[in-house]
Amino acid sequence: MAAPAHKNIKDLNGKWLMNKTHSDATDPVLALQGIGWLTRKAVGVASVTLHIKMYTKTSEDNPSAGEVINVDIDQFASGGIKGTAEYRALDWTYRPHSDWLFGELKGRSRFTTLDAVRKEAAEMGGVTEQDAEWLTEGWLEETRTGEVIESFVDNEGKGWTGWQIWGFAEINGERWYVRRMAIRRKNEDKAVRVKLCYEWVGELGS
């Protein structure tokens, strides 16, 4: 189901189902991240629904940032697969995170624009600029000219990084919530780039 017109990058509140028909396969990503074969296969057949809650509060660990938009995401999977949780404060401050699937990592997120992403990547050059080309293409006008959510995670122990851009794109003739990801092995010229597409399910509590 297409995203309602009133849903935008600053209001993703609600339930979103990952559509496997229009999304890229996640197995190559999970393999690069060191996830075992059995777990990858179980995740591959499960249906994944995101429950997203966005709200504003003053950061406890970065009070100088003032009021910051937070994004809490609980992932629910079918088939008995344990879900994961994502908790982000959009102030571009690194924070630790731990879960059963990805282990120990640190991540940061923020609102930005595609132009800013491309400009910063061009200054760094190399594989960063290559990944940015993928991350910043294929969006609707509202995302091309407005804001996006950018997320970056670093798993030092398993040796990979993940760079994401969230926005809205046209899928099957409709407006959907989309995440573009570039997952890369550190110190190697090896990356997996995927697009995940999410259908609107409904408001939380419905």
pLDDT digits (tens, 9 = 90+) for 101-120: 888 999 999 999 999 999 99
Superfamily for domain range 14-202:
Calycin beta-barrel core domain (2.40.128.20)
**Hey, what are 146's tokens?**
């407005």
**Sign of the CA dihedral 157, 71, 27, 124?**
negative
Top pLDDT among 8 and 82 is at 8
Strand pairing partners for 169?
176
pLDDT tens digits along 47-79: 999 999 999 998 777 777 789 999 999 999 998
Rounded to the nearest 5 degrees, what angle is found at the Cα of 13, between the Cα atoms of 12 and 18?
65
Please tell me the predicted confidence (pLDDT) of residue 61.
Answer: 76
Please give the order of strands across the beta sheet that includes 174-185. Answer: 85-89, 67-77, 48-58, 14-18, 191-202, 174-185, 160-171, 148-155, 103-112, 95-99
Please tell me the predicted confidence (pLDDT) of residue 82.
Answer: 77
Contact residues for 132 (Cβ-Cβ < 8 A; gap 6+): 117, 118, 120, 121, 122
